[in-house]
Chain A
Amino acid sequence: MAQGYEAPAGDSSVLRIGVDVGGTNTDAVLMDGRRLITFHKHPTTPNVSAGIVGAIRAILRAGGTGGERSPASIAAVMIGTTHFTNAFVERRNLSRVGVLRIALPAARGVPPLTDWPRDFVTAIGHDVHCVRGGYHYDGRINSPLDEQAVAQAARQMKARGLNCAAVCGLFSPVNAEMEERAAQIIAQEAPQIAVTLSSRIGRIGIIERENAAIMNASLVGMAREVVEAFASALRALGIEAPFFISQNDGTLMSAERVAQYPVLTFASGPTNSMRGAAYLSGLSDALVADIGGTTTDIGMLVGGFPRESAISADVGGVRTNFRMPDLLSIGLGGGSLVHAQAQTVRVGPRSLGYRLAQESRVFGGDSLTASDIAVAAGYARMGDAARVAGLDPALVQAGVAEIHRLFAEGLDRMKTSAAAIPLVLVGGGAVLIHRDIPGVSEVIVPEAAGVANAIGASIAQAGGEVDRVYSYQQLGREGAIAAATQEAQRVAMAAGAIADSLKVVEMEELPLAYVPGGAVRLRVKVTGDLALARPQGTATAEVSA
Chain B
Amino acid sequence: MKIESAMLEDFARGAAFLGTGGGGDPYIGRLCCAHAIEMHGAPELLPLEALADDAKVFSVAGMGAPTVLVEKLFSLEEAHLAVSKLERFLGRRADAIIAAECGGINATLPVAYAAMRGLPVVDADGMGRAFPSIQMASFNVYGVACTPMVIANEHGESVIIETGSAIAAEQIGRSLVVHMGASAMLSCYPMTGAEAKRTAVAATQSVAYGIGRAIATGRGVGQPVAALLAYLRTTAYYRHAHLLFEGKIVDVERETTRGWVLGRCVLEALEDRGARLEIRFQNENLCALRDGRVIAIVPDLIVVIDRETAEPITTETLRYGQRVSVLGVSAPPAMRTREALAVFGPQAFRLDHPFVPIETLAATP
Contact = CB atoms under 8 A, between A and B. Distances in A.
B101 to A, nearest CB: 16
A512 interface: yes
Contact of B66 (A136, A143, A513): A513
A136 B181 CA distance: 7
Interface of B: 27-28, 31-32, 34-36, 64-68, 70-77, 112, 154-156, 174, 177-178, 181-182, 248, 250, 256, 259-261, 317, 319-323
B321 A412 contact: yes
Contacts of B181: 136, 142
Contact of B65 (A105, A107, A418, A513): A513
B148 to A, nearest CB: 22
Contacts of B64: 514
B112 A109 contact: yes
Interface stretch (A183-191, A201-209, A215-223): A201-209
The interface residues of chain A, by DSSP majority, are classed as: loop
A206 B182 contact: no
Given A412-B321, A513-B261, A514-B177, A418 B250 contact: yes
B269 to A, nearest CB: 14
A114 B155 contact: no
Contact of B256 (A319, A412, A511): A511
With a 10 A CB-CB cut-off, give which of A106, A412, A513 has the most chain B CB atoms.
Answer: A513
Contacts of A512: 65, 67-68, 182
B67 A114 contact: no
A515 B75 contact: no
A106 B317 contact: no
Contacts of B178: 514-516
B102 to A, nearest CB: 19
Contact of B259 (A105, A469, A514): A514
A105 B156 contact: yes
A110 B320 contact: no
A79 interface: no
Given A109-B112, A514-B174, A521 B67 contact: yes
Given A111-B35, A514-B177, A170 B261 contact: no
With a 10 A CB-CB cut-off, give which of B65, B322, B323 has the most chain A CB atoms.
Answer: B65
Contacts of B68: 137, 512, 514-515
Contact of A206 (B65, B71, B322, B323): B71
B248 A171 contact: no
A205 B321 contact: no
Contacts of B28: 109-110, 207
A457 B28 CA distance: 37
B35 A417 contact: no
B155 A143 contact: yes
A511 B70 CA distance: 15
A178 to B, nearest CB: 13
A143 to B, nearest CB: 7
A346 interface: no
Contacts of A9: none
A415 interface: yes
A115 interface: yes
A106 B261 contact: no
Given A108-B77, A205-B70, A515-B259, 13 more contacts: A103-B72, A106-B72, A106-B75, A107-B75, A107-B154, A109-B74, A114-B34, A204-B70, A205-B71, A206-B70, A206-B71, A319-B27, A413-B322
A394 interface: no
Measured as residues with beta carbon below 8 angstroms from the partner, the interface class of chain A is: 35 or more
Contacts of A137: 65, 67-68, 71, 182
A266 to B, nearest CB: 21
A540 to B, nearest CB: 47
A136 B70 CA distance: 12
A342 interface: no
With a 10 A CB-CB cut-off, give which of A171, A415, A514, A521 has the most chain B CB atoms.
Answer: A514
A206 B73 CA distance: 8
A107 B28 CA distance: 10
B73 A110 contact: yes
Interface string A503-519: 00000001111111000
B318 to A, nearest CB: 11
Contacts of A516: 178
The 7 closest A-B pairs by CB, nearest first: A109-B74, A514-B65, A108-B75, A413-B321, A109-B32, A511-B256, A106-B72
B106 to A, nearest CB: 14
Given A137-B67, A415-B320, A516-B178, A110 B260 contact: no
A298 to B, nearest CB: 11
Interface string A117-155: 000000000000000000011000011000000000000
A110 B71 contact: no
Contacts of A413: 248, 321-323
Nearest to B252: A416
With a 10 A CB-CB cut-off, give which of A114, A170, A311 has the most chain B CB atoms.
Answer: A114
A107 B73 contact: yes
Contacts of B31: 109-110, 114-115, 207
Contacts of A417: 320
Given A136-B181, A418-B250, A512-B65, A170 B321 contact: no
A105 B75 contact: yes
Contacts of B73: 106-110, 206-207
A310 B182 contact: no
B187 to A, nearest CB: 16
With a 10 A CB-CB cut-off, give which of B76, B77, B259, B323 has the most chain A CB atoms.
Answer: B259
Nearest to A510: B67
B71 A170 contact: yes
A414 interface: yes
Nearest to B174: A514
Given A412-B248, A413-B321, A110 B65 contact: no
Contacts of A170: 71-72
11 contacts: A108-B76, A109-B35, A114-B34, A319-B27, A412-B248, A412-B321, A511-B256, A512-B65, A514-B68, A514-B177, A521-B67
